[in-house]
């Protein structure tokens, strides 16, 4: 047979143990040309060409047509019960068809016959028949009742025990064989015993049997070698499996299939493809069979590699294997897992020989995609004509994975009722899955009801309920359930610990979290990837980034999720610089970031207004083809908006192929923080005409836009329409926007009235917004009352005392100012210093108010002095009302010169070329003096200056600001 070398597959796995016959060709995703070899398979069954007598022909015919009762009657009618060969054929058929009742009748006839009582062949077939029918006890009774035994009978019983997964019994029987009989194990005995070792994952005993095979000269037997390969692979000793494979003097297709399976079970997907490709070379005269195809296809599914899966599909068609039910099911599974449901559905529809696995596979595909309707349609269809397929536990489990939200509750209850009616609820996996599903759908009470109905609760049962509470809104109950579980005598496993850490993270309960961390350390669980990520989440939620980083640095094998968690943690805890630094470290370690990391990094750039870095990462995402992801698209729009480039935000938005509600919300909010209220309202109308329904987030952006643009009438209209037209109940966030809008416009009484009439209790954020407005408009009486409310809610928050102090300062109440500041000093509260930053050349430079220790402080001061001279000529006068300290006028002017945004602007002018736009960020609201100065600087130096304070953007150009002095 001419051998044709198939180019290798594209491989991406990190593990690289030695594999048979390395291949150097590197053509991607190609197994062509497919050959049609002339040689037969090594394990093909040879048919003996001898004529059967009429009796045997008739018995064979009846057995093949599954008429076993009729075959037995035929033997009785024809007085052929003394024909050992015919009886043996019938016993074999009973085993294959698992017809134990007919088998027992044949057994009775054999037992009554003195001729057959000591017939080794018939008794061996009786032992085998019972084991194939799932009754190894009957096999043992037959065996023990025999006066004379041979090795075939011992082998049949050992094989029967292994077939019925009685691995300990098989090992004990083997020990009895070699210790009390004169028989020596042969090449049938050892493979069965080796399989028992694999079932017990007892590689030590497996190696003993391996040594025995070598001493007995059986190691060269292909069946023994194949069993050893399978055992070592299943036990995780891949190198030993490879060594056995390499030294086999004879290998058949099962040998190669066993190697592929061993590699697959241990995650060596690259080596699976290598080995498969070696078979296709044809050098050993082998042709892939059904086992080969159904072993390689799940690997394609696990890797999401539909390209290779399609090549294997073509191979199956060429070899005529695609009509095999197992192959068809494996193909459906592969296409479903790779997201090609249309192809999976086509294969499923064309298959006229569906079994329950076929239905379960396609249901699992649609359920995994969250398609509840299609999953339930298939569930109903499989039970109707012409299929009338019986639903099993796997069917229920596959459908349940689609029930993920409150809207699926009716379907979930329907499925639960069905499970009760058909006795499937008693299965532990099904019951646990219902507990988890009810929790995910928001019905924790139903989840508990199912849980308490489970008669024998295992750790997995408790985990389902603990995890459900931890993930779906009642983390404190999760901790209580854990205590109940330990009282019941069950020890937690890694999943229990992960759920508890999640609960502690939600509660920000560091004390309990540290106790659980200690438990994980004592039990060697800290390095488990799932536990490690849960611990990172705990410390990040509790704002303990140093502890999180220490844990992260201790991780030996940092998976992508751990990098993503740390990068996101820094960003969420207002440490964008560290987030960017860790992202760079991730890239330098050769780790490819995906959508989650990219989204987080865009968020960090947004916090810093780091436009250049944002643009660089935008280029990276374009090259990595990640911009189609909806989350990446939204974060990109947000990054440009928060970096002062609303026009670029609009371009990114316009380029999106599919705009969902989230993308509309982001662009509306983007225009809102830039003060373009009319544009935000225009987009709101376009959003609705394009068929997208606004949600609560839409109105937050819209109300914020109205607030910054002074569109009070329009904002109040939207607040009213939220509920009346769109059925959206306003939440605290919406009321906060409206309170801010009214306060900004000086309508303080209306703002207070709205707060008092709100259906929800106002939070500190709402009172703080009103207090800020009271300070701006100098309403001392209302401000004091609001401050009392605020201090009752947050007595230890520095911002409240600062606002109250500034309110008194603005009214000249210096004694009260000193009193408030003394309280802050005594309680250890510190005011956040004014801080501004500017990005230049990809590096972020930070400035703090009054900072004179900068390396270039003198140059910065010199730039400002020259600027102050220029803008004084065109109308600048220091607004000392912005200095809320009891100082002389000259001292106040000097304080104004040290404001952080002035330092940042001066530094930007010092370091950039003429005409370049300056982009400044500030952590506090820009004061009136800096606002006036920035307007005049933009005119004097003919530059655009963009300042983002903690509320909105200010675009200064030609002596004007985009806010029109309303902020």
Residues 957/944, Cβ–Cβ less than 8 Å: yes
Integer Cα distance of 334 and 302 in angstroms: 8
Q: How confident is the model at residue 80 (pLDDT cuts 50, 70, 90)?
A: low
Query: Which tens digit of pLDDT belongs to each residue from 635-651?
Result: 999 999 999 999 999 99
- pLDDT at position 903: 94
For 117-171, how does the pLDDT look when each residue is reduced to its tens digit (9 = 90+)? 778 999 999 999 999 999 999 999 999 999 899 999 999 999 999 999 999 999 9
Question: What six digits make up the tokens of 853?
Answer: 């220790």
DSSP strands (E only) in 436-500:
none
Residue 832: the pLDDT is 83
Percent of residues, the chain, with pLDDT higher than 90:
70
**Percentage, residues of the chain above pLDDT 70:** 94
pLDDT-derived band at 429, boundaries 50, 70, 90: very high
**CB 475, CB 506: distance < 8 Å:** yes
3-state secondary structure of 847: strand
Q: Residue 320's pLDDT is what?
A: 94
pLDDT score recorded for residue 9: 42
Q: How far apart are CA 851 and CA 232, in angstroms?
A: 68
Contact 919, 838 (CB under 8 A): yes
Please answer whether residues 66 and 97 qualify as being in contact, where contact means their C-beta atoms are separated by less than 8 angstroms.
Answer: yes
Mean pLDDT of the chain: 89
Distance between CA atoms of residues 341 and 242, nearest Å: 36
What is the reported pLDDT for 299? Answer: 95
The region of weakest confidence among 849-858, 916-925, 939-948 is: 849-858
Give residue-wise pLDDT tens across range 194-214.
999 999 999 999 999 999 999
pTM (2 d.p.): 0.68
Structure tokens at 593: 């970031």
pLDDT of residue 254 exceeding 90: yes
The whole-angstrom distance between residue 513's C-alpha and the CA centroid of its chain comes to: 23
Average pLDDT over residues 783-808: 92
Q: Is the peptide bond before 33 cis (omega within 30 degrees of 0)?
A: yes
Q: Check residue 40 and give its pLDDT.
A: 31
Token pair 């070398």 is found at 5
Of 50-59, 165-174, 313-322, 623-632, which gets the smallest average pLDDT?
Answer: 50-59
């Amino acid at each position: 047979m001419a051998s044709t070398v198939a180019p290798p597959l594209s491989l991406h796995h990190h593990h690289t143990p030695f594999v048979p016959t390395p291949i150097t060709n590197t053509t991607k995703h190609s197994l062509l040309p497919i050959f049609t070899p002339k040689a037969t398979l090594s394990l093909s069954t040879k048919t003996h060409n001898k004529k059967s007598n009429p009796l045997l022909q008739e018995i064979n015919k009846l057995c093949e047509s599954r008429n076993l009762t009729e075959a037995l009657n035929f033997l009785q009618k024809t007085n052929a019960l003394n024909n050992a060969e015919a009886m043996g054929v019938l016993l074999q058929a009973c085993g294959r068809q698992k017809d134990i009742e007919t088998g027992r009748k044949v057994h009775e006839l054999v037992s009554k016959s003195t001729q057959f009582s000591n017939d080794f062949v018939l008794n061996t077939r009786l032992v085998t028949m019972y084991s194939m029918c799932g009754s190894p006890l009957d096999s043992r009774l037959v065996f023990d009742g025999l006066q004379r035994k041979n090795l075939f009978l011992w082998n049949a019983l050992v094989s029967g025990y292994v077939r019925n997964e009685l691995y300990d019994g098989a090992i004990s029987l083997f020990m009895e064989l070699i210790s009390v009989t004169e028989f020596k194990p042969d090449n049938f005995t050892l493979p069965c015993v080796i399989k028992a070792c694999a079932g017990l994952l007892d590689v030590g005993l497996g190696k003993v049997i391996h040594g025995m095979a070598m001493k007995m000269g059986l190691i060269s037997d292909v069946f023994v070698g194949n069993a050893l390969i399978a055992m070592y692979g299943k036990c995780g000793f891949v190198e030993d499996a490879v060594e056995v494979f390499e030294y086999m003097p004879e290998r058949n297709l099962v040998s190669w299939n066993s190697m592929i399976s061993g590699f697959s079970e241990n995650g060596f997907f690259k080596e699976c493809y290598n080995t498969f490709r070696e078979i296709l070379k044809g050098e050993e005269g082998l042709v892939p069979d059904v086992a080969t195809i159904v072993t390689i296809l799940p690997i394609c599914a696990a890797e999401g590699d539909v390209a290779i899966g399609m090549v294997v599909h073509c191979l199956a068609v060429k070899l005529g294997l695609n009509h095999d039910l197992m192959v068809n099911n494996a193909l459906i599974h592969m296409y479903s897992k790779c997201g090609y449901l249309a192809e999976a559905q086509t294969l499923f529809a064309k298959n006229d020989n569906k079994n329950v696995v076929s239905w379960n596979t396609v249901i699992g595909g649609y359920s995994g995609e969250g398609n509840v309707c299609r999953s339930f349609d298939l569930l109903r269809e499989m039970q109707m004509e012409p299929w009338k397929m019986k639903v099993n536990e796997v069917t229920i489990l596959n459908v349940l994975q689609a029930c993920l939200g409150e809207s699926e509750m009716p379907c979930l209850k329907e499925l639960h009722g069905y499970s009760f009616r058909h006795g499937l609820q008693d299965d532990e996996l099904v019951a646990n899955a219902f507990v988890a599903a009810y929790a995910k759908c928001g019905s924790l009470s139903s989840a508990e009801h199912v849980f308490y109905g489970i008669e024998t609760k295992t750790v997995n049962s408790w985990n389902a309920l603990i995890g459900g509470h931890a993930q779906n809104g009642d983390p404190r109950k999760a901790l209580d359930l854990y205590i109940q579980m330990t009282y019941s005598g069950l020890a937690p496993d890694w999943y229990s610990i992960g759920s508890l850490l999640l609960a502690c993270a939600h509660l920000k309960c560091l004390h309990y979290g540290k106790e659980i961390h200690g438990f994980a350390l004592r039990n060697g669980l800290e390095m488990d990837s799932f536990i490690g990520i849960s611990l990172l989440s705990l410390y990040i939620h509790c704002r303990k980034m140093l502890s999180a980083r220490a844990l992260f640095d201790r991780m030996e094998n940092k998976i992508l999720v751990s990098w993503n968690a740390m990068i996101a943690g820094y960003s969420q805890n207002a440490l964008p610089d560290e987030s960017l630094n860790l992202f760079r470290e991730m890239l330098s370690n050769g780790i490819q970031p995906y959508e989650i990391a990219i989204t987080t990094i865009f968020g960090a750039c947004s916090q810093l207004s780091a436009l250049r870095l944002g643009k660089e990462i935008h280029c990276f995402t374009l090259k990595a083809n990640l911009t189609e992801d909806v989350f990446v698209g939204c974060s990109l729009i947000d990054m440009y908006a928060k970096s002062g480039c609303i026009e670029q935000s609009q371009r990114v938005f316009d380029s999106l192929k599919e705009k969902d509600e989230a993308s509309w919300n982001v662009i509306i909010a983007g225009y809102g923080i830039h003060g373009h209220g009319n544009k935000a309202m225009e987009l709101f109308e376009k959003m609705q005409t394009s068929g997208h329904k606004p949600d609560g987030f839409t109105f937050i952006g819209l109300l914020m836009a109205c607030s910054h643009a002074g569109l009070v009438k329009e904002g109040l209209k939207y607040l009213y329409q939220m509920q009346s037209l769109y059925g959206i109940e306003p939440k605290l966030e919406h009321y906060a926007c409206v309170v801010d809008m009214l306060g900004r416009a000086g309508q303080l009484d209306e703002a207070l009235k709205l707060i008092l009439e709100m259906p929800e209790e106002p939070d500190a954020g709402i009172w703080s917004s009103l207090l800020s407005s009271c300070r701006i408009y100098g309403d001392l009486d209302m401000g004091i009352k609001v401050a009392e409310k605020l201090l009752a809610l947050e007595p230890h928050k520095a911002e409240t005392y600062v606002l109250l102090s500034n309110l008194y300062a603005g009214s000249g109440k210096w004694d009260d100012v000193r009193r408030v500041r003394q309280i802050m000093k005594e309680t250890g509260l510190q005011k956040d210093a004014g801080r501004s930053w500017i990005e230049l050349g990809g590096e972020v430079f930070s400035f703090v108010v009054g900072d004179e220790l900068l390396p270039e402080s003198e140059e910065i001061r010199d730039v400002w002095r020259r600027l102050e001279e220029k803008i004084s000529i065109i109308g600048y006068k220091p607004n000392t009302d912005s200095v809320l300290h009891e100082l002389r006028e000259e001292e106040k002017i000097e304080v104004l010169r040290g404001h952080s945004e002035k330092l940042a602007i001066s530094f930007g002018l010092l370091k950039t070329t003429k005409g370049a736009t300056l982009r400044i960020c500030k952590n506090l609201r820009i004061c009136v003096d800096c606002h006036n100065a920035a307007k005049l600087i933009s005119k004097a130096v003919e530059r655009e200056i963009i300042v983002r304070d903690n509320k909105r953007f200010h675009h200064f150009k030609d002596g004007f600001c985009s806010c029109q002095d309303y902020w």
